[in-house]
Structure 1
Amino acid sequence: MAESTIITGQFVRISQTPASLGERMLALIIDYFLLFIYVVGFSVMMARSGIHASSGFTFFFLFAVIYLPVLFYSLLCEVFNRGQSFGKRLLNIRVVKADGSTPSLSSYLLRWLLFPIDLPITGGLGVLVILLTKNHQRLGDLAAGTMVIKEKNYRKIQVSLDEYDYLTKGYRPVYPVATDLSLEQINVINKTLASGNKDRARRVKLLAEKIRSLLSIKQTEGNDEKFLQTLLRDYQYYALEEI
């Protein structure tokens, strides 16, 4: 299973594995089975109690107790259970933002509103989209900026967010222009410095020259490698300052 690797605004690397179509469908089947048991069980209980939807009040009561929870089931579960329905919880998968953060209420709501287009109305268009997208996202996910990932990776994200707090303790940035770098450029710098290739020194030198030209930096401290490392720390420092 391919991993989705992101560099967050705090310069924390997140590697998360998208849930497969099979896992998502199985979670959905479990959810539907639980809802079926709920509706049938409640209906049998009402029938044995001699309660029928013969009056307006009774009909409203049945609608509020049975049909509304079923209609809003996935939305309520994801909002109040941090992106997990019961089916997702059993399969150890979870809804998160594409950058690894927790979705907002509007994101959950948008996913829920577009679900009928993904499955019932279009006859399963969302399944095709899941198969064709890199992070296995349905239309609702693409619109809301969310994805469904394996739970074990989500826990790693939460643990790793505090790894760089030491930078805020007395650190003084050297290159304020580091804030002009994009996440993709930061990722390239990090990969180059972490590379073990034989031509690493040449690649570091070329990248340092390109970055100096891009940011209009005329004077730098230390060698090319130290310059790039300082840029990374400065970028991280300013990103942490914005939290």
Structure 2
Amino acid sequence: MSEPSFLTGQYVQLQLTPASVGDRIAAQLIDWCVMLAYAVLMARVLKELNAGFSTNILVVVLPLFFYTLLCELFNNGQSVGKMLMKTRVVKADGSTPTIGAFLIRWLMYLIDGPMLSYAGVLVMILNRRNQRIGDMAAGTMVVKLKKYKDIQVSLDEYDFLESNYKPRYPQAADLSLEQIEIISRTLAMKNDDFLPRTAALANKVAQKLGIERQEASDTAFLQRIVRDYQYYALEEI
């Protein structure tokens, strides 16, 4: 089965490798071991200190209850188990989840996790991206970290951009995906009115972005705009 492919809003196509169901279960078991070890250790410490009930709740129960949310939120989408299994939570387009997305998938774990049911495991087995219900609700997925890092840092894999590429027009980042697609389609045209169409489009783009062109050729200018847009798109991922 081929890996899921996504066209992001930044005009970059990514291929992500979902973490296997086995990887996700193993990560969860590791997290439970970490949580158990923390609970036992802190219980002993607090017992020695003769701490009261409210202190036990604050120091032991609350950190365990929010463990997954806090880890993923402040550790780049990874709990201890995910770190050891080399997996990470990302948005379905490969970008970093928002706070809201992390919160949704954590809240849904209270429903599709082992506390109330094991529905999340069944759903993971049945769908291509190995997402549980919380992932579907939050628009997230868990991916293999090595594959994800390869996508993030290997700029040489993109034929439109060299690793030492220097953008010229930062204003290109303000264009929308649809506008970049129009420019790309125009550049791909080879009919009789190619030159006047590219000239008109180049002038319109320069006027919209409020920039002074540095390329004498309309085609070269538009190609530079597309490359600069893609450069800043990769910077955001």
Q: TM-score, normalised by structure 2?
A: 0.69
- What displacement does 1:45 show? 3.0
User: Which one of the candidate residues 62, 70, 82 is aligned to 2:64?
Assistant: 70
- What displacement does 1:122 show? 4.6
- What displacement does 1:133 show? 1.6
Distance (Å, rounded) in 1 between the aligned partners of 2:154 and 2:13: 8
User: Which one of the candidate residues 139, 153, 160 is aligned to 1:159?
Assistant: 153
| Aligned residue number for residue 144 of structure 2 | 150
Residue 169 in structure 1 maps to residue 163 in structure 2? no
Distance (Å, rounded) in 1 between the aligned partners of 2:125 and 2:223: 36
Distance (Å, rounded) in 2 between the aligned partners of 1:161 and 1:117: 40
| Aligned residue number for residue 130 of structure 1 | 124
| Aligned residue number for residue 193 of structure 2 | 219
Q: 1:13 to 1:241 in 2, by over 3 A?
A: closer
| Aligned residue number for residue 201 of structure 1 | none
Structure 2: segments with no counterpart, 5+ residues: 196-220
Q: 3-state DSSP class of the match of 2:194?
A: coil
**Contact 2:31 2:80 (C-alpha < 8 Å) held by counterparts:** yes
**Contact 1:96 1:148 (C-alpha < 8 Å) held by counterparts:** yes
- What displacement does 1:16 show? 1.4
| Aligned residue number for residue 12 of structure 2 | 12
- What displacement does 1:11 show? 2.9
| Aligned residue number for residue 61 of structure 1 | 55
Q: Which moved more, 1:98-107 or 1:116-125?
A: 116-125
Amino acid at match of 2:16: Q
Distance (Å, rounded) in 2 between the aligned partners of 1:76 and 1:69: 9
Q: Deviations over 1:32-70 (max 9, x none)?
A: 0111111122223333x2626xxxxx2111111000000
Q: 1:137 to 1:97 in 2, by over 3 A?
A: same
| Aligned residue number for residue 114 of structure 1 | 108
Amino acid at match of 2:63: P
**Contact 1:178 1:235 (C-alpha < 8 Å) held by counterparts:** no
Aligned residue pairs total 199
**Contact 1:167 1:233 (C-alpha < 8 Å) held by counterparts:** no
Residue 26 in structure 1 maps to residue 26 in structure 2? yes
Distance (Å, rounded) in 2 between the aligned partners of 1:180 and 1:50: 65
Q: 1:85 to 1:220 in 2, by over 3 A?
A: same
**Contact 1:118 1:125 (C-alpha < 8 Å) held by counterparts:** yes
Distance (Å, rounded) in 2 between the aligned partners of 1:161 and 1:109: 32
Distance (Å, rounded) in 2 between the aligned partners of 1:4 and 1:232: 29
Q: 1:117 to 1:178 in 2, by over 3 A?
A: closer
Q: Kindly, what percent of the aligned residue pairs are identical?
A: 41
**Contact 2:86 2:144 (C-alpha < 8 Å) held by counterparts:** yes
Q: 1:156 to 1:125 in 2, by over 3 A?
A: same
Residue 81 in structure 1 maps to residue 80 in structure 2? no
Q: TM-score, normalised by structure 1?
A: 0.68
Q: 1:167 to 1:87 in 2, by over 3 A?
A: same
Amino acid at match of 1:219: D
Q: Which moved more, 1:19-28 or 1:131-140?
A: 131-140
- What displacement does 1:180 show? 5.6
